[in-house]
Structure formats: structure tokens, C-alpha cells
């Protein structure tokens, strides 16, 4: 399989604080690639570099063999990178369906005025985008909450809606920032099932930041371990499970 994302020697600093130091992470097309590490390791900062929120001082990021470092976040999203957020970032006053429709905005053509006209091309686009949203609602089994405002959902369901909204953009690469945090065991089992179906049924490549080490070991194809902004190990789940630096980082010397 080919490499869908390549990050080389990423360095990111805020003032005198270096957050990422020469981080190198590749994502193979069709794989689930995980990034793990203690709090403050730089995991979310790395995702922010990929999605254009942060601009590294050094290094390069290629997506589908195109350099994306320095591009605006909306352009990166249009290229096929979807993102869920650790802190949800849902539109809480909107329903589940409306949140997913917002994510389809990049697929409307012809300008805002044309999109507001519900006849001719505008109407056809509205129908097409709603059909795509229906597919996502069906996939994530959100039928029963589709017309409920995001703020009225339990936290675990909001996390799933966050992943669904990222998928509503029809990405080739899905960035997930700790989707399992705060979930119950049953909710994590549902999340695991959705991740596997995304990979095998929809063929989506996934770059997944997660704290639940056992969940990562069970689902990921390859794992990168960050500690204090530096990649201390990468390999298969079995290699990571027995890596001395990883054991030391998680359970101490």
C-alpha cells in the first residue's frame, strides 16, 4: 500500500518552549495508525500541524504527495482530511443532522447566493448533500437522535457525533483526537466497531490519537509513541507492547 501522509522532521515551538522535536510519522493508505503518549507529549499539537491550525517552524508534511504545510485549514479539509476534536467543538444549538450538514459545506458549488436558492442547481445540491448526510447517520446508527440538539445528548453520544461530523466531509484521511476519552466500556466497544467498519467497509485511512493503550494495541496497524515532543518508538502493536522505552514511559523505570 502507498503512503497517504508523510510528516518529516516536524519541529514546533511556542516562544522558548519546544512542543515537537524532529517528529517523523507516516500513514499508510487504508491503515489505522495510532499516536500515543503521556499528557503533554505533543499528540494534539501534531494533529494541529497536519490540519493547518499550527504552522511548524521546520519540516514538511505531504498528503497524497502534495505539500500541505502552510496551507489554510479549510483548503486542507477540501483536499480530503477530516478531523474530530478532543473537546468536541460541536455546534451545540444545532441538531445532529444540522451539524453534519455544516460539514458538507465544502461540497456546495456556485457560491453562497446560488446555494440559498432552493430550485434548479441549488435544490439539486441540497438534495445530494442531505443524501450524503443520511449515509453517515445510518453508518453511525444515529437515527434516533438525528433531530436532537447536540447539547441535549449524553457526552458519549456527542463524541460519536464528532466523529460522524468529521466523516461527513467524505475524507480520505480521518484525524481522530482522543475519541475514546470519557467513554464508558460499552461506548468504547461501539467506537471500536465503527473504526473497524470505517477501515474495512469505507476504506478510510485513520490517524488516531488515543490514551487507551489497550484499545490502541487491539485496533491499530502501526503505533508511534511521543514523549515530551519526541518520537521514542514506532512499530506494530506487538513491538510497541514490549518496547523498553514505552514500558518506561507508561509504568516508570
pTM confidence score? 0.90
CA distances for 202 relative to 55, 146, 171, 179, angstroms: 30, 22, 10, 19
Task: Evaluate if residue 114 carries a pLDDT over 70.
Answer: no
For the chain, the structural domain boundaries read 1-80+171-253, 92-169
Task: Evaluate if residue 118 carries a pLDDT over 60.
Answer: no
Helix (H, G, I), strand (E, B) or coil at 225: strand
Instruction: Name the class of domain 1-80+171-253.
Output: alpha beta
Confidence of residue 1 (pLDDT cuts 50, 70, 90): confident
pLDDT of amino acid 230:
95
pLDDT digits (tens, 9 = 90+) for 150-163: 999 999 999 999 99
pLDDT of amino acid 113:
46
Comparing 20-29, 112-121, 225-234, which segment has the lowest mean pLDDT? 112-121
pLDDT digits (tens, 9 = 90+) for 54-113: 999 999 999 999 999 989 999 999 999 999 998 888 999 999 999 999 988 776 665 544
For the range 65-72, what are the long-range contacts, defined as Cβ-Cβ under 8 Å and sequence gap of 24 or more? none
* ∠ Cα 30 183 148 (to 5°): 90
Amino acid at each position: 500500500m502507498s503512503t497517504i501522509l508523510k510528516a518529516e522532521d516536524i519541529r514546533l515551538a511556542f516562544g522558548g518552549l519546544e512542543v515537537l522535536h524532529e517528529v517523523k510519522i507516516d500513514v499508510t493508505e487504508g491503515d489505522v495508525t495510532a499516536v500515543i503518549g503521556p499528557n503533554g507529549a505533543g499528540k494534539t499539537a501534531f494533529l494541529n500541524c497536519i490540519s493547518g491550525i499550527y504552522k511548524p517552524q521546520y519540516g514538511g508534511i505531504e498528503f497524497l504527495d502534495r505539500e500541505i504545510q502552510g496551507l489554510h485549514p479549510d483548503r486542507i479539509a477540501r483536499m480530503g482530511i477530516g478531523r474530530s476534536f478532543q473537546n468536541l467543538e460541536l455546534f451545540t444549538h444545532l441538531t445532529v443532522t444540522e451539524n453534519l450538514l455544516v460539514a458538507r459545506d465544502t461540497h456546495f458549488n456556485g457560491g453562497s447566493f446560488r446555494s440559498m436558492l432552493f430550485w434548479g442547481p441549488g435544490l439539486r445540491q441540497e438534495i445530494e448533500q442531505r443524501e450524503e448526510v443520511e449515509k453517515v447517520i445510518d453508518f453511525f446508527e444515529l437515527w434516533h437522535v438525528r433531530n436532537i440538539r447536540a447539547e441535549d445528548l449524553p457526552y458519549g453520544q456527542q463524541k460519536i457525533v464528532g466523529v460522524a461530523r468529521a466523516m461527513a466531509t467524505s475524507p480520505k484521511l480521518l484525524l481522530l483526537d482522543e475519541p475514546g476519552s470519557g467513554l464508558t466500556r460499552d461506548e468504547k466497544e461501539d467506537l471500536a466497531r465503527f473504526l473497524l467498519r470505517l477501515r474495512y467497509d469505507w476504506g478510510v485511512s485513520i490517524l488516531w490519537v488515543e490514551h487507551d493503550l489497550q484499545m490502541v494495541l487491539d485496533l491499530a496497524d502501526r503505533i508511534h509513541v511521543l514523549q515530551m515532543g519526541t518520537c521514542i518508538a514506532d512499530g506494530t502493536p506487538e513491538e510497541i507492547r514490549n518496547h523498553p522505552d514505552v514500558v518506561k514511559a507508561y509504568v516508570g523505570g
